[in-house]
Structure 1
Amino acid sequence: MTTSFAPSGDLAPSYQILAALLTVLGIVLLVMELRRSRGAQRSPRSSIAAFVTGALASIGLLLAVLRPVAIQSKGSLVGPRVVVLADVSRSIDLPGPAGKTRRQEAARALGELQKHGAEVRLYGLAFGKGSPTPLSAALASGAAEGAQNTPEGQLAQALLAARPMPRSDLAGAIEAVARAADERPAAIVVLSDGRLDRPGEGQAGEGIRAALGTLTVPVHAISLATEAPRDASVRVVRAAGAAVAHQPLTLRIEIGCAGGLDCDEVPVSLRELRETGEPTELARGKANASSGAATLELEVTLDRAGARILEVSIDAPDGDVVPDNDTRYVTIDVARDRVRVLHVAGRPTYDVRALRMWLKADASVDVVAFFILRTPTDDVVAPSEELALIPFPVDELFSEHLPSFDAVVLQDFNAAPYGLAKHLRSLSRYVDKGGGLIMVGGPDAFVPGNYAGTPLAEVLPVELDRGPGAEGSDVASFVPRTTEAGRAAPVLGPLRDLIGEEWPEMPGANVVGDARPGATVLLEHPTRKTPKGGPMPILALGEHGSGRTIALAIDGSHRLLFSAFAANAAGRAHGAFWDALLGWLMRDPRFEPAVVDLADGCIAGEDTTLTLRPLPGQKGDAKITIRKLGAGEVLRTLSARLDGKGEPLSLDAGKLEPGGYSATVEIVPSEAGAAADGTTSAERGPTTRRDFACERGGDEWADTRPDPERLAAIAEATGGKSVTADGIGSLPLPAATQIAAERRVSPLLPPWAWTLGAAMLVGVHWIVRRRSGLA
């Protein structure tokens, strides 16, 4: 309860001011009168008495006019709203002062801020990527009721439990606060280590002033760390230009050194992760980061297009307290200038001619073609030096130049007579490391070509009978039948647009076995069965290691170009068919059944979310298999139901360790039926694959140095103050405002009493004047 005094409300404020001015004027005139009559025979005591009574009479008249009243009010203090923006980017989990993490220091600072700001309403927001979010629902609801009553430590506990963010966008957070429709804050307090993505280092103050817009409030800053830990790290890896297969690429690697470490010579290695086995070393060097940072350039040549996972690591000096940023994993998307294809054919048939014509006619394909017109045992009745035909350079091609090709096409080619058998293991390793292989049928392909039981047979998407009485071919004519997977697979989409699901009659087929696990069968034989009872595959696609393989068990695809059937599509069906097969082999997005994205990347130890984007119209089940590169084992399998709308689906992949991973997506059409054994190849839908990498901390941990100078610049530009957690008590937070809840007005005296008192004082003054000789 508080008591105050004020004039009554009978007169308007302007008349109250006029009455006060007249009172002052009367007193001034009295003084002037006394000064003019100073020479009269009057004692000083009488002059003083005249002045005092005259002044009292004037004041009495003023009080009679104003008639003061007593105002008793009862209310409460309401603190101003102060927004606390707490940085929850991954960098606050780095080491901070006194052996604690910066997150723990932020929690302590929040506790101190609650004590210091007991009379304000703290509203806590966590900022990182995107719009800031309330630190806790309890604090958000308490803000409307008076968050000064929030239990001590609740804000700190909410911060300790906050999920780390991939960015630190302070400018975006302040923009959201400034544009919010709720109560405007009286001040903003920022808790951060200063390692911000926005605003930038050069114009931090200007950036925050622009983010505030019309909101003119001070932005105070609390630095969570002021000194860098002892740390050497791979800060940034940049590619100088676009990555193109088979062309040199320069990588600029920035090595950082902080905290007083001895970084005169820091070994740096660059390796590429593989599907299985140890990574392949691409380059090595040394960096001198004694000045705090150094940039090293390493040149590499990547032979395979697509997403390649590179590992950049350093041998950190002794005393490094953050070993997690000594190794960075970088995903390089390698493009193709031209697709390099090695085409090896056993004989110049119509099918070989048609394929070679298409390869030569496509400007995006760089083809090296070999036709085998004679075997080493052919008797040509002439010495070799007199022959115009060059020998097949099998050893040179498959020992030295094989990695330079994007794809290898073996068409109706027998491996035994030409010395290729000893290189089949190299060809298998080529596929395993990311190469593409197409085996096309014919009298000397698959089983008749002596591939059964060889290392190359293991990478094909179909099994081959290696028995002594194995049947190699079936010469009966037939029309291939499209499977359910073939109807859904984009790889046959361009062909379906031209000829529908009809195929020309084929002059026989190679006899192959069942599709291997994970393979996709697009075309099958209408009558012939595999040993397990299912339809025999005619066109099968498969993944092996980092590469892809295709088995086409016919040598009649030329009938899509040279036949009465082909005339219906003007001969374009053959080009559409082979363009799609080669495109799928090269992982062309047009022929992938789905796209797998990681919107927020992959950070080791945190939940990873995969985004699956299927094609419109796809219905069925999607199975996503996640494997770790190098080990090859399956870590987990995810599943999703596709409704045909093509809407993106988010899948939780859980927490992963640092390293490279592959996510293989298999889409099983809902119309696929089961065969006798319940596992026909038709149930295996089209597949796609996405390689990605996980690293501890990501970009936020690459540079562990705090930046208190940036926070100080922000505070200075907005009229705020920058302190550490120990100096929170000096922050000038706004004062609380009293809100009246009850008000009672009562007159001090009744009106007649004020009038009577004024008349008595005027009378006394008149008597004193008469006695002192004043007129």
Structure 2
Amino acid sequence: MIEQIAFSPLIPWPVFIGLACASIAVIAFAAWRKMTGSVLRFVAFLGLLLALANPVVLRQERDALTDIVILVVDETASQTLSDRRLQTEQAEAKIEAQVAQLSNTELHRVTLQDASDDRGSLLLTRVADAMADIPQGRLAGVILLSDGQIHDAGLVPDLPAPLHLLLTGSPSDWDRKLRVENAPAFAILDEEITLTLAIEDQGAVPQGLPQVSPLIVSIDGGEDIVLQMPVGRSVQVPLTLPHGGMNVLQFSVPMVEGELTDRNNSAVIQINGVRDRLRVLLVSGEPHNGERTWRNLLKSDPSVDLVHFTILRPPEKQDGVPTSELSLIPFPTRELFLDKIDDFDLIIFDRYKLRGILQPSYLENIARYVEDGGAVLFSAGPDFASADSLYRSSLSRIIPVQPTGRVIEQGYVPQISNLGSRHPVTQGLGGVASSVDAPPNWGRWFRQIELSALSGQVIMTGVDDKPLLVLDRVGEGRVAVLGSDHAWLWSRGVEGGGPQLELLRRLAHWMMKEPELEEETLSATVQGSTITVLRRSLTDDPQNLTVTAPDGTTRTETFAKASPGRFEATITGEDMGLYRLQAGDHEAVVVLGPAAPREFENTIATDTLLAGAVRPTRGMVKRLSDETPDIRLVSQGRLAGGRGWIGITPRNAYTTLSSSTAPVIPMWGWLAILMGWISFVWIREGRR
């Protein structure tokens, strides 16, 4: 039971204050005029004001509340280094024991875990969350068990009690890390790029440590390249990307004896390799309706440089026109097919036939160009079935089909073959019917060159399932034969048209070896902590997937069929870093998060980041490598710590169970006192 004096005025406080001021003024005037009885009248006025203030006795029954000490235990990944976990456990046990011995005090323990999205140690955010769960009037102190490496130093909560940092780690700790300072997101193939890297030593670095370290570089998990790199300064590393599409570059330095961890000794960069300009040579045998289709397609692609020639006047043409009046340029056969043929990524022969322009040596050089890695597309017209067909030349050794000499002139709807439903050039091509037996909803073509497939892959068929589009790999290069010159009917919308531009675009890019159109590939994408692996294959056996995690452990996963020729597997990554994937002879690498999580970017224990939060609360920073400090009680506002101890502030919080009031003197008592005093004053002055 708590009793205390309170006031419950009978009149509003402003009126009360006004009466008090008026009374003081009257008494002061009387005293100034030296009027008799001024003091007695002052006492009477004072008694009247006291009666109007109505003093009461306030009685409260209170229940004392315990003070709360918040203990935040950092359990992030960096706390597993060295003996920090042991230091934390020992300090935690001692703090719990000491708080248990304090009267009217309880310990509220919370933990800090790694952020799921690699945001690092959000220690102060965790403190704010813990404070939101308790009344601020009961908070006696906050104790942090951490290495001080936090990533939300700017989010300091408003603390009404001391904040203490008990720092794990040792003053002798040191670590080496690899940092990427500059790396492009895109790079042009076959052109050298420069990346800026630095090797840094942090903490108490031992004397005599070598200042040169090997730098191990690998691309897509391939063969390692070892370079020598100085420690402590930025170095530019030149590299050339080996292929188009995404290239995964891994850099690492060996772990040195004594350093805290090797988790920050590596870095992974993903750079998209793009071609500078794709150079295409289009040779048209004679003007026709489909010629503009090829030209429009290739000119619409900003990454393509197109060189187009149409043979308008072959050598055998005798029309009597004087040479001086001819405005056409001669066909630069030698420059194109001997001197500069290797500068082109793709050559397209559109309804071209042997007309004496290309000598046998030129045709032989084209075959050599394909075998060395070039690409040739034959868009066949009636001339391909004639005696002047390009097949009747040395190019026959790279052409995967043989013309029978028959030209089929009838309407038909192009079909995608069973193999074509798996091939990336024709897989999912717009307009394919959902039923296998139903024809695609495309317009008809009206001419097909009858071909006999000798090798390669037939991905589209025409009349009576005869080969219409055939692809083949010859040596290092690629060859395609389109057995019709009526693809342009789709672009004109004849009978509804069809996906002509998409088909030709895919075909051209497959021939130019774009990675996304490869038939046999293994690739992966990352979303959050989930890795989706795609296996594209022309067979029904995608083989099992072997996954190698960043820590070197392996596991086997099974693919599930997503569509014809497409198989998927989903992996949940437990650790951040580089994952190696293998299915048969195909390999791929993928990065889940950074190679070194943010938690390991800086590993040396420090109080610098938390100093701005500890200092204003008059708290302390103590190293656990010295000792775990004792806990004492200190008054509000005093320095909460000293040698070997830290302080918490008792808050004396309580809840009121009941309360009551009673007047100090009842009203009739005040009336009797005032009347008695007034009578005394009147009698005394009357006698005078």
Distance (whole Å) between structure 1 residues aligned to residue 589 and residue 347 of structure 2: 23
Counterpart of 1:704 in 2: which secondary structure?
coil
Match of 1:481 in 2: 415
Q: Which amino acid aligns with 1:272?
A: I
Match of 2:668 in 1: 752
Matches within 5 A, 1:247-286: 247-259=191-203, 260-261=205-206, 262-274=209-221, 279-282=222-225, 284-286=227-229
1:252 positional shift: 0.8
Distance (whole Å) between structure 2 residues aligned to residue 318 and residue 29 of structure 1: 93
Change (3 A) 1:295 1:20: same
1:697 positional shift: 4.2
Answer whether contact 2:470 2:482 (CA < 8 A) is retained: no
Matches within 5 A, 1:142-161: 153=109, 155-156=110-111, 159=112
Matches within 5 A, 1:128-277: 153=109, 155-156=110-111, 159=112, 164-168=116-120, 193=147, 195-196=149-150, 208=155, 222=165, 224-225=167-168, 229-236=173-180, 238-239=182-183, 242-259=186-203, 260-261=205-206, 262-274=209-221
Distance (whole Å) between structure 2 residues aligned to residue 541 and residue 106 of structure 1: 70
Distance (whole Å) between structure 2 residues aligned to residue 30 and residue 524 of structure 1: 125
Q: Deviations over 1:154-210 (max 9, x none)?
A: x24xx46x6654014869959998xx99999999979665545566xxxx5xxx58x
Distance (whole Å) between structure 2 residues aligned to residue 628 and residue 4 of structure 1: 75
Match of 1:702 in 2: 601
1:99 positional shift: 3.4
Change (3 A) 1:354 1:593: farther
Q: Which amino acid aligns with 1:273?
A: D
Distance (whole Å) between structure 1 residues aligned to residue 55 and residue 368 of structure 2: 116
Computed over aligned residues only, the root mean square deviation of the Cα atoms, in angstroms, reads 7.0
Match of 2:320 in 1: none
Answer whether contact 1:116 1:728 (CA < 8 A) is retained: no
Counterpart of 2:173 in 1: which secondary structure?
coil
Change (3 A) 1:239 1:163: closer
Q: Deviations over 1:547-602 (max 9, x none)?
A: x99885x44255436xx788768x9987653422243542469x9999974244xx
Counterpart of 1:508 in 2: which secondary structure?
strand
Match of 2:460 in 1: 523
1:322 positional shift: 0.2
1:250 positional shift: 0.6
Answer whether contact 1:221 1:711 (CA < 8 A) is retained: no
Match of 1:693 in 2: 591
Match of 1:457 in 2: none
Counterpart of 2:243 in 1: which secondary structure?
coil
Q: Deviations over 1:446-472 (max 9, x none)?
A: xx8599xxxxxxxxxxxx9xxxxxx98
- 1:609 aligns to 2:530 (yes or no): yes
- 1:297 aligns to 2:236 (yes or no): yes
Counterpart of 1:659 in 2: which secondary structure?
strand
1:663 positional shift: 9.8
Answer whether contact 2:338 2:365 (CA < 8 A) is retained: no
Q: Pick from 59, 63, 78: which aligns with 1:72?
A: 59
Counterpart of 1:583 in 2: which secondary structure?
helix
Query: How many aligned positions are there?
Result: 575
| Percent identity of equivalent pairs | 17
Match of 2:634 in 1: none
Change (3 A) 1:744 1:714: closer
Change (3 A) 1:709 1:163: closer
Answer whether contact 2:577 2:596 (CA < 8 A) is retained: no
Answer whether contact 1:559 1:566 (CA < 8 A) is retained: no
Matches within 5 A, 1:5-154: 5-14=5-14, 66-76=53-63, 92-93=78-79, 95=81, 98-100=83-85, 153=109
Distance (whole Å) between structure 2 residues aligned to residue 113 and residue 337 of structure 1: 70
Answer whether contact 2:247 2:270 (CA < 8 A) is retained: yes
1:499 positional shift: 9.9
Distance (whole Å) between structure 2 residues aligned to residue 444 and residue 733 of structure 1: 99
Answer whether contact 1:23 1:62 (CA < 8 A) is retained: no
Distance (whole Å) between structure 1 residues aligned to residue 499 and residue 657 of structure 2: 86
1:236 positional shift: 2.5
1:320 positional shift: 2.1
Structure 2 length normalisation: TM-score?
A: 0.58
Matches within 5 A, 1:329-348: 329-339=268-278
Distance (whole Å) between structure 2 residues aligned to residue 484 and residue 7 of structure 1: 97
Answer whether contact 2:413 2:443 (CA < 8 A) is retained: no
Matches within 5 A, 1:560-599: 560=487, 577-583=503-509, 585-587=513-515, 597-599=525-527
Q: Deviations over 1:310-364 (max 9, x none)?
A: 1201123221220222232222222221236899x9xx9999x999989997773
Distance (whole Å) between structure 2 residues aligned to residue 85 and residue 405 of structure 1: 65
Q: Pick from 650, 659, 672: which aligns with 2:578?
A: 659
Matches within 5 A, 1:657-736: 658-661=577-580, 692-694=590-592, 697-713=596-612, 723-724=621-622, 730=640, 735=651
Change (3 A) 1:69 1:176: closer
Q: Which amino acid aligns with 1:247?
A: E
Answer whether contact 2:180 2:198 (CA < 8 A) is retained: yes
Answer whether contact 2:337 2:366 (CA < 8 A) is retained: no
Answer whether contact 1:114 1:152 (CA < 8 A) is retained: no
Answer whether contact 2:548 2:555 (CA < 8 A) is retained: no
Counterpart of 1:581 in 2: which secondary structure?
helix
Answer whether contact 1:560 1:573 (CA < 8 A) is retained: no
Q: Which amino acid aligns with 2:448?
A: M
Distance (whole Å) between structure 1 residues aligned to residue 417 and residue 507 of structure 2: 16
Change (3 A) 1:500 1:363: same
Match of 1:454 in 2: none
1:297 positional shift: 1.4
**Greater strand fraction, Structure 1 or Structure 2:** 2
Distance (whole Å) between structure 1 residues aligned to residue 220 and residue 103 of structure 2: 55
1:32 positional shift: 10
Answer whether contact 1:189 1:220 (CA < 8 A) is retained: yes
Q: Which amino acid aligns with 1:577?
A: L
Q: Deviations over 1:94-145 (max 9, x none)?
A: 537x5328987997899699879998xxxxxxxxxxxxxxxxxxxxxxxxxx
Distance (whole Å) between structure 2 residues aligned to residue 282 and residue 662 of structure 1: 21
Answer whether contact 2:249 2:268 (CA < 8 A) is retained: yes
Gaps spanning 5+ residues in structure 2: where?
A: 309-332, 353-362, 380-389, 433-439, 535-541, 632-639, 641-646
Structure 1 length normalisation: TM-score?
A: 0.53
Match of 2:656 in 1: 740
**Greater helix fraction, Structure 1 or Structure 2:** 1
Q: Deviations over 1:591-617 (max 9, x none)?
A: 9999974244xxxxxxx224799xxxx
Counterpart of 1:709 in 2: which secondary structure?
coil
Match of 1:328 in 2: 267
Distance (whole Å) between structure 1 residues aligned to residue 281 and residue 120 of structure 2: 49
Distance (whole Å) between structure 1 residues aligned to residue 580 and residue 349 of structure 2: 31
Matches within 5 A, 1:499-518: 500=442, 502-503=444-445, 505-511=447-453
Q: Which amino acid aligns with 1:256?
A: E
Q: Deviations over 1:428-463 (max 9, x none)?
A: xx9xxxxx9889799699xx8599xxxxxxxxxxxx
Counterpart of 1:303 in 2: which secondary structure?
coil
Answer whether contact 2:248 2:270 (CA < 8 A) is retained: yes
